[in-house]
Structure 1
Amino acid sequence: MDGFASDKPILRLRRPDDVGEIRDLMARVYPAPHGPEAIWSAENLVRHMACFPEGQMVVEAGARLVGTATAHRVPIVSALAPHTWSQITGRGTLSTHDPEGEALYGVNIAVDPDWQGVGIGSLLYRARVDLARRLGCRAFVAGARIPGYHRVASEMDPEAYVEAVVAGRIFDPTLSKQLRVGFQVRGVLRDYAPDVETLGHAALIVLEL
């Protein structure tokens, strides 16, 4: 990743003129065999900013967007109950946003492959946790991808995989990092969202505030 030292990452809220670049960024993060549904539509990105602007963040470095994250508020009982990504996000439209929701829900996060491993994801997580605290939310909640699961799916179910990651017997590229920053696993969300690496499953992670 060239130029990191000179291009200090800056976190800010999304702007309407970011839409095209966010879509390009997501295409780099979710190439084939991920399908086109993994990339936000322009209409959805505009809708998100109108619905809950505080929860729509990007990180730019130099003249390029290198990270993006989407969040909204939902009732904590909904966030902690079994759900799918489509149910909790209104099929990605954020129509389920509740301005009084006690949980800030992490809908999506994407970091440019060339900038992964240098703290961009952590910056976005910290910013959303800070937002949740400012809003008076009780928790930050998300469905965490478990991209390493497909490698061992023939040997164990997703519950056993997540248990092994929590115990430190298996390293997962996403969940292990989230555990390191203080998230706790509250269960497995089966059939959470179509995903070739997770086989559709996710871990329900919670950071109490």
Structure 2
Amino acid sequence: MMTPEDALPSYYKSCYVFHNRTPYPAIVRSYTQKDFERLIEIQRAAFPPPYPSELWWNTEQLHEHITRFPQGALCIEINGVLAGSMTSLLIDFDPDHPQHTWEEVTDNGYIRNHQPTGDTLYIADLCVHPSYRQWGLGKLLMQSMYEVVTAMGLTRLLGAGRMPGYHQVAQDYTPQQYVEAITQGTVYDPVISFLLRCGRTPLTIIKDYLDDEESLHYAVLMEWKNPLLIARNLKG
């Protein structure tokens, strides 16, 4: 296994993001040990109570991320300031048995169950500092993970999205009806609607995915399939 000193950035992209019509230089790269303190600060700011504080990253978890799968441990800088991150691992996904919890699929965030030969990139976390929301950073991070999926020849990107708006309308909708209303455009959810805009599609509802009062502990399993493999299969 690599040491932190060996875990040099294995993903690096320089581009621009726009805020109020002004372009700002951005870098998406694999995060390293020197980023840990800021990454934890971003977690605190991005997920305030009632989100459980024990689900914020800790240094041991971040160490596992950069040693086991640095290609899937990405952060984004704006003018040199770390503004967000996205973390993933590889798994073998069985579409016939999609139910799981966040703790199970991510090894409680330590990703020691990362499978280097897995066919699916699973998103463990995506967060952006509140000061940089509405900058399009979450979508840029998601697009970067799509690039990892295609570069590695994986089948899909997969992850379960919180549905934080659900508690406000739970008396009117079942979880399935809530997701259907979102896809029909009659209901907006800050997380699920965002993932739809990023190109993700819903697969199923997961019950008790995470200790998440706003979502009433539900989540929506959503995927993005590798379009290069789909095209190859259509030809074949």
- TM norm. shorter chain > 0.5: yes
Which residue number corresponds to residue 137 of structure 2?
120
- What residue identity is the alignment partner of 1:197? E
Which residue number corresponds to residue 51 of structure 1?
68
- Alpha-carbon distance change, 13 to 22 in structure 1, aligned in 2, over 3 angstroms: same
Residues 148 and 172, structure 1, Cα contact 8 Å, conserved in 2? yes
Cα distance in 1 between the residues matched to 2:178 and 2:95: 24
Which residue number corresponds to residue 218 of structure 2?
201
Q: C-alpha displacement at 1:76, in angstroms?
A: 2.1
Residues 30 and 38, structure 1, Cα contact 8 Å, conserved in 2? no
Q: C-alpha displacement at 1:32, in angstroms?
A: 1.8
Task: Output one character per residue of 1:48-89: Cα deviation in whole Å (capped at 9) or x when no partner.
Answer: 111111100000112321110001100021796111111111
- Alpha-carbon distance change, 4 to 47 in structure 1, aligned in 2, over 3 angstroms: farther
SS in 2 for 1:76: coil
Q: C-alpha displacement at 1:91, in angstroms?
A: 1.3
Which residue number corresponds to residue 139 of structure 1?
156
Partner residue of 1:86 out of 103, 114, 121: 103
- Alpha-carbon distance change, 80 to 181 in structure 1, aligned in 2, over 3 angstroms: farther
- Alpha-carbon distance change, 66 to 4 in structure 1, aligned in 2, over 3 angstroms: farther
Cα distance in 1 between the residues matched to 2:77 and 2:20: 13
Structure 2: runs of 5 or more not aligned: 1-18, 227-236
- What residue identity is the alignment partner of 1:192? Y
**Structure 1 moving runs of 4+ over 3 Å:** 2-7
- What residue identity is the alignment partner of 1:105? Y
Comparing 117-126 with 72-81, greater Cα deviation is found at: 72-81
- The answer to whether the aligner puts 1:184 opposite 2:201 as a matched pair is yes
Task: Output one character per residue of 1:103-149: Cα deviation in whole Å (capped at 9) or x when no partner.
Answer: 00111000111111121001100000110111110011010111111
Cα distance in 2 between the residues matched to 1:78 and 1:66: 34
Comparing 60-69 with 183-192, greater Cα deviation is found at: 60-69
- What residue identity is the alignment partner of 2:92? P
Cα distance in 2 between the residues matched to 1:108 and 1:79: 24
Residues 79 and 103, structure 1, Cα contact 8 Å, conserved in 2? no
**Residue pairs, 1:102-181, within 5 angstroms:** 102-181=119-198
Residues 142 and 198, structure 2, Cα contact 8 Å, conserved in 1? no
> Please, what is the CA RMSD of the aligned residues?
2.0
SS in 2 for 1:9: strand
- Alpha-carbon distance change, 158 to 30 in structure 1, aligned in 2, over 3 angstroms: same
Q: TM-score, normalised by structure 2?
A: 0.83
Q: C-alpha displacement at 1:8, in angstroms?
A: 2.1
Q: C-alpha displacement at 1:7, in angstroms?
A: 4.2
Q: C-alpha displacement at 1:33, in angstroms?
A: 2.0
Cα distance in 1 between the residues matched to 2:23 and 2:183: 36
- Alpha-carbon distance change, 3 to 44 in structure 1, aligned in 2, over 3 angstroms: farther
Comparing 17-26 with 195-204, greater Cα deviation is found at: 195-204
Q: C-alpha displacement at 1:45, in angstroms?
A: 0.5
Structure 1: runs of 5 or more not aligned: none
Among all aligned residue pairs of Structure 1 and Structure 2, give the percentage whose two residues are the same amino acid: 29
Q: C-alpha displacement at 1:35, in angstroms?
A: 2.2
Cα distance in 2 between the residues matched to 1:114 and 1:106: 23
SS in 1 for 2:202: strand
